Amino acid sequence: GPPGKSQRASSAEEEGRRLKAKLEQAEQQQNLAREQAQGALERCGRLQVELNQALQRPSADPNAPKEIEALKKQVVEHRQAAEDGRSEAESARRRVEEAELALKQAREEVATQQRAQQHESAVFNESRAKAQQEAEASRGRLRQAQQDAADAQRGEQEARQRADEMTAARRRAEEDAAALRLELDAANEANKVTSRIAAESEKKMRGAGQQTQHLSDEISRLRGELDTKTAETQSLNNALQSARDNARMYREHAMNQSSTETQAAERRLVQSNERASQLEAQLGQANASVAYLQQQLAR
């Protein structure tokens, strides 16, 4: 409990014990004064009897006057002692009353201090209980904050994992684009070869009618190359669609990421769009090559 009120209550109790001891001492002094006064009265009574007896005796005794004077003096002295005893007893009685009043006041002060101590103890206990509740609530908030931190850490790990996956996907897309560029370069080279062969075949067809069978074979071969080029064109179409799908995936992924991840995803989206544009240009070139082969075959 709070120490201030407890110390004051203890001091009041100690004062009460001191006043009680003082009261007991005053009562003892009062009783002693009464006993002394009573003893003086009794001795005074006996001396009065002796004095009366001395006064009644014949006056022939030469010592009688002295004895009578001595008895009178003793009676006066004992009466004075009895009066002093009564005065002391009255004074002691007043001291007893004062001590009783002081003791009563001290006991009331003790009771007041005890009530105040009980009240302050109740307030202190209530404050301590409230503080304990607040401490428990703070511990609960701390546990929640720790849980939130753990969740955030897991979210960060998941985001890092998704970023790694997107990096791997970007690497695969770049590899696919490089492979497509190689395929497109090969297709362009094949288109040049096919154009040259077609030109040579056309020259041979105009120059020699006896090579008709050879030209038919050449046409069949050109048709085979046309089929191959058509398949390559379809492959480029598929690659273009894949690049567009990747761009859409990056766009959707960017919508669900933090600002930093969104900027990275947007950069990957721009790169994917650029690759799609390149593939579209390459596809246009391949389509032009196919059209050229078809024109050659039509001739």
Write down the pLDDT at residue 121: 92
Which amino acid is it at 19? L
Closest CA to 105 of 14, 16, 26: 16
Which amino acid is it at 276? A
Q: What are the residue boundaries of the structural domains of the chain, listed by start?
A: 3-147, 159-298
Backbone angles phi, psi at 182, to 5 degrees: -60, -45
pTM greater than the 0.75 cutoff: no
Write down the pLDDT at residue 213: 79
CB within 8 Å of 247: residues ≥ 6 apart: 269, 272, 273, 276
Write down the pLDDT at residue 124: 93
Write down the pLDDT at residue 205: 65
Closest CA to 103 of 33, 42, 19, 168: 19
Write down the pLDDT at residue 285: 93
Write down the pLDDT at residue 193: 84
Write down the pLDDT at residue 223: 83
Structural class in CATH, domain 3-147: mainly alpha
Backbone angles phi, psi at 276, to 5 degrees: -65, -40
Mean pLDDT for each consecutive 10-residue tract of the chain (299 residues)? 66 86 91 90 91 79 80 90 88 89 89 90 94 95 95 92 91 89 86 84 72 75 85 87 85 76 82 90 91 87
Q: What is the DSSP string of 191-228?
A: HHHHHHHHHHHHHHHHH-GGGHHHHHHHHHHHHHHHHH
